Amino acid sequence: MEELQKNSRKAFLKQTLYLVGFGALANSPVKVLAHTEPKKLTILHTNDWHSRIEPFPAIDKKLGGKGGAAARAAYINKVRDEKGEILLLDAGDIFQGTPYFNFFGGELEYKLMSQMGYDCVTLGNHDFDAGIEGLLKQMPHASFDMVNANYDFSKSALNGKVKPYKIYRKQGLKIGVFGLGIELDGLVPAKLYGNIIYNDPIAVANKMAETLKKLHKCDLVICLSHLGYKYNSTKVCDEILATKTAHIDLIIGGHTHTFLPEPAWYTNVINKKVCVNQVGWAGLQVGSLSYTFEPFVNTANEPSSALIELTNLEN
Amino acid sequence: MWRKKNFYGHSLLIISLLLIGCKASLQIKSHQFINSPISSDSSQVLDQSVLKTIAPYKAKVDGQMNERIMVASADLTKESPEGPLGNMVCDVLMRYAIKQGKQPDVCVLNAGGLRIPTIYKGDVLVRTVFELLPFDNQLVMLQVSGAQLKELLDLVAQNNGWPVAGLRITIKDKKAESILIKGEPLDLAAKYWVLTSDYLAGGGDNAAMLNQPLQYFYFTIMLRDALIAQLKNMFYDGETLQAVKDGRITKE
């Protein structure tokens, strides 16, 4: 890690020198630094665990033997062995669905996710099923971050415990992750979510993504969303989020338990491609997205979406 | 000394400014993606340290799931228009609500919410109730008008009978007729408290008439947990489950 940081610092210095030397080229979309090693990052993600610790029981004709936390962990470890440092994320609804939640209130779910090395999760509606107090009680078992930007926690006991966003440095890259939650009114008894105020996800997302991309200069901006993939109505969802915002590169979704056969692609308000992925529920799948980045000396113009190559290796 | 520090500070500042001003933007060059199915069958590698973390919790869950909370004196089957299984669930939930100091007039659930066809004569385990009510639906109580209740009971009739308690109806041409609520004829202008699941209360299974109740009360307990709690109480008091079929829903 330190070595990587050192390397990237070296690279920056080199780039700086090149810029001084080739100042005239600074605004042309020419790959001045073609010799620089591309940076690679793999993102693994889940959503809607719903307390599925064990695989589905054998009597289940459709899902018997599928899923299971020990198998998920083995898969994650295998990817880590191959790729090194990864980013491991979850889009919420970790709680509720098996007796493990009824009996232990989410303690085991958080312990296992910590053990697996999750970096960041967002809150789903079911994560409030034991109330704010129940959630607070389990937080000491979580070694990962929790993000949500559109719930106003200022009047809630969760204030300060859930951050709007977090920035991660992995593989020499800077990745901004923010969270969005679904409207809790009508979904969760008011008694359970208390004084959390829901704000419009689109307005919040635009602000967050711009902050992360422009101010913090993140190489990748990820939204962990528990809004749901898509509805038969105008209800805000990941599809609307992707098309009505700017500066989000990747939306990792949940809530609707949608098994996308492959990530879906949308074009946002500034004509850039946005990737949306969701992997069903119950830990039956783990999503894996591998990005390759190349440096471009082109600070004046945003990289155009036409330059993005899409490699679709497996369905 | 001071000069040196200052010089250092300046050069750092200049370098930082250069870095901020001239940061080469990184461009996404390519993506690869795969949504990997996860399976725990015998051919798969399992993480032993995760299994070790789970073990003590699993032992407790398995122990509690196998706890006997009641004894059934006969087979309780799911039938339509009414059956002993649906009757038992609604009757027991009514008693749970009353024990909480509430006064529901009727209980109505959707037949689809009961997921096993029979509770067999013998021990009833926590596991049995989990299998019967696997969905995490909350127990709620809605106050509705007599007219709204009539609409709901028509829906019950349309579905050839759902689990109910506190009422009697006759199904005629897919409509609820001869309606009695707690022994009294339904008054369309009166107000009634309906004990049900948040699923139906949210308009599930076409119960749209429940979307706009006059008042709403959350028990903040799942149907399953309320049933388990009440069965435990009854068993403690020496009761067992009987197969009750009392003609609360008949068909003409």
CB atoms inside a 10 Å sphere around CB A256: 20
Domain count, chain B: 1
Whether pTM > 0.80 for this model: the answer is: no
Which residues 86-145 of A are in CB contact (within 8 Å) with B?
Answer: 96-97, 99-100, 102-104, 107-108, 111-112, 115-116, 126, 129
pLDDT at A240: 98
Domain that holds residue B222: 63-247
Tokens 């709007």 — which residue? A164
3-state DSSP call for residue A137? helix
Mean pLDDT of chain B: 89
pLDDT at A296: 63
CA distances from B50 to A70, A109, A161, B249 (A): 5, 11, 26, 51
pLDDT at A289: 95
Encode chain A (315 residues) as per-residue pLDDT tens digits: 444 444 555 554 444 444 443 444 444 444 444 456 789 999 999 999 999 999 987 766 678 899 999 999 999 999 999 999 999 999 999 998 888 998 899 999 999 999 999 999 999 999 998 999 999 999 999 999 999 999 999 999 999 999 999 999 999 999 999 999 999 986 777 788 999 999 999 999 999 999 999 999 999 999 999 999 999 889 999 999 999 999 999 999 999 999 999 999 999 999 999 999 999 999 999 999 999 998 764 433 333 322 222 333 232
- Using CB atoms, pick whichever of B27, B48, B54 lies closest to residue A296: B27
Judge residue A249's burial from the number of C-beta atoms within 10 Å of its C-beta, 0-12 exposed, 13-18 middle, 19 or more buried: buried
CATH of the domain at B172: 3.90.780.10
Q: Is residue B145 part of a domain?
A: yes
pLDDT tens for residues B194-235? 999 998 998 888 899 998 999 999 998 999 999 999 999 999
B202 touches chain A (CB under 8 A): yes
Contact between chains at A295 and B29 (C-beta distance less than 8 A): no
Count of pairs with CB atoms under 8 A, one residue in A, one in B: 199
pLDDT at B137: 87
Which of B27, B41, B49, B126 to mutate against chain A (most A CBs within 10 Å)?
B27
Q: Is residue B79 part of a domain?
A: yes
pLDDT at A300: 36
Q: How confident is the model at residue B16 (pLDDT cuts 50, 70, 90)?
A: very low
pLDDT, greater one: A33 or B248? B248
3-state DSSP call for residue A85? coil
Give the integer Cα–Cα distance in Å for B249 and A193: 39
Q: Is residue B69 part of a domain?
A: yes
Least confident of A63-67, B161-165, B190-194: A63-67
Question: Which chain A residues have a beta carbon less than 8 Å from that of B56?
Answer: none
Q: What are phi and psi of B195, to 5 degrees?
A: -85, 130
3-state DSSP call for residue A202? helix
What percent of chain B is predicted at pLDDT more than 90?
Answer: 73
pLDDT at A36: 67
Contact between chains at B35 and A16 (C-beta distance less than 8 A): no
* B59 token code pair: 């032992």
Q: Is residue B229 part of a domain?
A: yes
Question: Which chain A residues have a beta carbon less than 8 Å from that of B47?
Answer: 69-71, 73-74, 77
pLDDT at A8: 54
Contact between chains at A189 and B18 (C-beta distance less than 8 A): no
Q: Is residue B22 part of a domain?
A: no
B53 touches chain A (CB under 8 A): yes
Length, in residues, of chain B: 252
B212 touches chain A (CB under 8 A): no
CA distances from A289 to A79, A87, A276, A304, B154 (A): 11, 10, 11, 21, 51
pLDDT tens for residues B22-69? 455 688 888 889 999 999 988 889 999 999 999 999 999 999 888 999
Q: Which positions ≥6 away from A63 have C-beta within 8 Å?
A: A56, A282, A284
Q: Report strand pairing: B138-145 vs B191-197.
A: antiparallel
Q: Report strand pairing: B164-165 vs B106-108.
A: antiparallel
**What per-residue string of b and e applies to A133-152 under the rule 16 or more CB within 10 Å gives b?**
ebbeebeebbebbbbbbbbe
- DSSP letters for B66-106: T-EEEEESS-EE--SS--HHHHHHHHHHHHHHHHTT---SE
Question: Which chain A residues have a beta carbon less than 8 Å from that of B64?
Answer: 99, 103
pLDDT at A61: 64
Question: Which chain A residues have a beta carbon less than 8 Å from that of B57?
Answer: 53, 100, 103-104, 107-108
Residue B91 has pLDDT above 90, yes or no: yes
CB atoms inside a 10 Å sphere around CB B212: 11
pLDDT at A59: 61
Question: Which chain B residues have a beta carbon less than 8 Å from that of A222?
Answer: none
Q: Report strand pairing: A165-170 vs B68-72.
A: unpaired
Residue B192 has pLDDT above 60, yes or no: yes
Q: Is residue B43 part of a domain?
A: no
Question: Which chain A residues have a beta carbon less than 8 Å from that of B15?
Answer: 13, 16
